[in-house]
């Protein structure tokens, strides 16, 4: 299963593509950032981001698109652009009949670090570890997009589109995650 | 000049098309509401609204699209969907190389009633008067979309895309507006 994660933003929009299946190591497919020129008009900026998102979707053919859920309480100066980019990502997926999911920042942090209040560097560290990367994914927007994709691959059994499993049973991926979490605690 | 106004909303998105030129009576071309099913998933709802917006743009071929500027301080429960619909309207226009403009609710109210704090019914009354309609445009979202289009047609000389005029000179449309405003005061 291939998931394209989107960390929405008007100046920098993180995009990360991850393959994963129960019992298999997660695999980084591609990661990057869609950008728009801050001095351009907002309609042109949104369109530019849409074009880049569509190129990523066309190139990587994800089975699902996971987008960070934006809250009105976010940074007031940027929240409107962030929400609009999230909306554009949702429609770009919907037009191609690709299922989408929204995950909150806390869900994403908890999925990859075990804590819903983890900091940016902790998320980057765990994303690098889980994807077996030799370097931290940068910028943070790119790491967040990968974390979103991982969060979606690891969403609880019974969630939208997830394969059904007996309650309490951990998938191999979830066991790997638990082990990584424990390893992280020992090192911390 | 033909302007398509958009009062963004996820459940009801007002759309109004108005023709206007200096010295000519404003003319209603079309007005309506794009809707999405509140029980559907947000990506499907945004896509549905996009489809309807695109049908309106294709059918009426506006020279400009005017969208209400959404602020983070708006109703927190609905502001994200409203911002996303605004973004989708902007991109739908940008893709077709149609110029867009954002106008604040206060600008729109001031343009059609003379007061930036006018109520909904006052806006509806003035929109009906300015467009010579025998009935008030309903629902309020539709009236707001028409008011946006009028606001854009009447934006100050020197604003983006407006024909240049000597400072202080009123266009015939502006004179008509001033007269309508005075008449409104006498009746009130």
Task: For residue B7, indicate whether it is catalytic.
Answer: yes
Structure confidence by residue, pLDDT tens digits, A80-133: 999 999 999 999 999 999 999 999 999 999 999 999 999 989 999 999 999 999
Provide the token pair at B110: 């001031």
Distance CA A175, CA B44 (A): 34
- CA-CA distances (angstroms) from residue A161 to A146, A172, B41? 19, 18, 14
B177, pLDDT greater than 90: no
B150, pLDDT greater than 90: yes
**Does an H or E element contain A130, and which?**
helix A120-130
> Which member of B19, B43, B63, B68 is catalytic?
B68
ipTM value for the complex: 0.73
Name the residue among A47, A73, A86 with its Cβ closest to that of B84: A86
Pairing relationship of beta strands B2-7 and B64-68 according to DSSP bridges: parallel
For chain A, what percent of residues have pLDDT higher than 90?
66
Q: What predicted TM-score, i.e. pTM, was given to this entire model?
A: 0.79
Within an 8 Å CB–CB cutoff, is residue B95 touching chain A?
A: yes
Contact between chains at B86 and A84 (C-beta distance less than 8 A): yes
How far does B137 lie from chain A, in Å, by closest CA? Answer: 28
Q: Which of residues 6 through 65 in chain A touch B, CB cutoff 8 A?
A: 41-44, 46-47, 50
Average confidence score pLDDT of chain B: 85
**Does an H or E element contain A19, and which?**
strand A12-19
- CA-CA distances (angstroms) from residue A167 to A84, B44, B56, B63? 37, 30, 49, 58
For residues A45-49, give the mean pLDDT: 98
Helices assigned H by DSSP within chain B: 42-60, 79-95, 105-113, 120-130, 140-153, 172-187
Contact between chains at A83 and B84 (C-beta distance less than 8 A): yes
Answer for the pair B56, B4: CB distance below 8 angstroms, yes or no: yes
How far does B16 lie from chain A, in Å, by closest CA? Answer: 20
Distance CA A31, CA A133 (A): 12
**More confident site: B162 or A23:** A23
Distance CA A136, CA B71 (A): 36
**More confident site: B74 or A8:** A8
Name the residue among B71, B76, B88 with its Cβ closest to that of A88: B88
């Amino acid at each position: 299963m291939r998931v394209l994660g989107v960390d929405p933003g008007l100046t920098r929009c993180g995009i990360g593509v991850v393959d994963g299946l129960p019992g298999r190591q997660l695999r980084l497919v591609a990661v990057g950032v869609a950008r728009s020129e801050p001095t351009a008009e907002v309609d042109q900026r949104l369109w530019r981001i849409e074009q880049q998102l569509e190129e990523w979707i066309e190139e990587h053919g994800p089975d699902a698109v996971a987008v960070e859920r934006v809250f009105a309480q976010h940074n007031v100066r940027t929240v409107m652009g962030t929400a609009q980019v999230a909306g554009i990502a949702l429609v770009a997926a919907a037009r191609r009949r690709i299922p989408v999911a929204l995950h909150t920042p806390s869900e994403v942090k908890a999925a990859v670090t075990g804590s819903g209040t983890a900091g940016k560097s902790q998320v980057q560290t765990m994303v690098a570890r889980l994807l077996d990367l030799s370097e931290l994914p940068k910028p943070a927007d790119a790491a967040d997009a990968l974390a979103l994709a991982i969060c979606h691959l690891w969403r609880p059994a019974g969630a939208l589109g997830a394969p059904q499993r007996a309650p309490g049973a951990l998938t191999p991926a979830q066991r790997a995650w638990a082990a990584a979490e424990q390893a992280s605690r020992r090192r911390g």
